[in-house]
């Protein structure tokens, strides 16, 4: 088997100069992404009550309600992060979360209340959780590299909570998808 040798590219002195003179830094990228997820979480606190209200299954409704409480706490954790950075907590519109929340709203408006709509709500919520797991993973790694250990710890805690929420949705989807398919079979019979 051929092994590929990876060549490390040396930067030309001119290119090094460009990078040095650039105002952009990892710290700025980190802060920008922090603003993005701050906006995203706050946006989600407005969407979760609508998703709960639209849930037919009581356990799903309870999952959305408890995730609202968790999300409110996550917003506080992000504010702690901004404080640790000595920055004002401000949000920056997150296109990703805006789109994912819209997908959830489409499920609510396109389908009638029932198990099948619940399955669609879970699908939308899991996309949101995966988006957040990815965002917090990236932020945690950046915080570590930047030597902001306390921030990294806070971001890791939230990432773990999002993973727990995703797992709960997985469990619920197994039951709810089954009920939705059984209902369909009854209708066909």
Interface residues with Fe ion (CB under 5 A) are 71, 74, 132
Looking at the Cβ atoms of 169 and 180, the one nearer to Fe ion is 169
d(CA 26, CA 28): 5
Q: How many residues does the chain have?
A: 189
Cβ proximity to Fe ion, 105 vs 166, nearer residue: 166
Distance in Å, CB of 107 to Fe ion, minimum: 19
CB of 74 to Fe ion, least distance (A): 5
Q: Give every CB contact of residue 172 below 8 A, 6+ residues apart in sequence.
A: 57, 59, 60, 63, 122
Closer CB to Fe ion, 75 or 146, in the complex: 75
Distance of alpha carbon 51 from alpha carbon 73, whole angstroms: 19
The answer to whether the CB of 169 falls within 8 A of the CB of 122 is: yes
Question: CB 41 → Fe ion: shortest distance, Å?
Answer: 5
Q: Which residue in the shown chain puts its C-beta closest to Fe ion?
A: 74
């Amino acid at each position: 088997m051929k092994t590929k040798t990876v060549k490390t590219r040396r930067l030309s002195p001119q290119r090094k100069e460009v990078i040095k003179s650039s105002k952009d830094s990892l710290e700025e990228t980190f802060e920008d992404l922090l603003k993005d997820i701050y906006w995203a979480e706050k946006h989600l606190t407005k969407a979760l009550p609508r998703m709960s209200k639209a849930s037919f299954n009581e356990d799903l409704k309870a999952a959305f309600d408890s995730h609202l409480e968790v999300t409110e706490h996550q917003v506080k954790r992000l504010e702690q992060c901004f404080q640790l950075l000595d920055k004002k907590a401000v949000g920056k519109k997150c296109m990703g979360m805006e789109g994912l929340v819209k997908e959830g709203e489409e499920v609510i408006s396109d389908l009638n209340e029932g198990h099948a709509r619940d399955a669609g709500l879970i699908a939308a919520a899991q996309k949101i959780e995966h988006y957040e797991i990815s965002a917090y993973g990236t932020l945690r790694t950046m915080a570590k590299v930047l030597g902001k250990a306390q921030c990294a710890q806070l971001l890791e805690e939230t990432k773990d909570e999002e993973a727990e929420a995703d797992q709960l949705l997985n469990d619920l989807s197994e039951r709810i998808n089954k009920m939705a398919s059984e209902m369909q079979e009854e209708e066909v019979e």
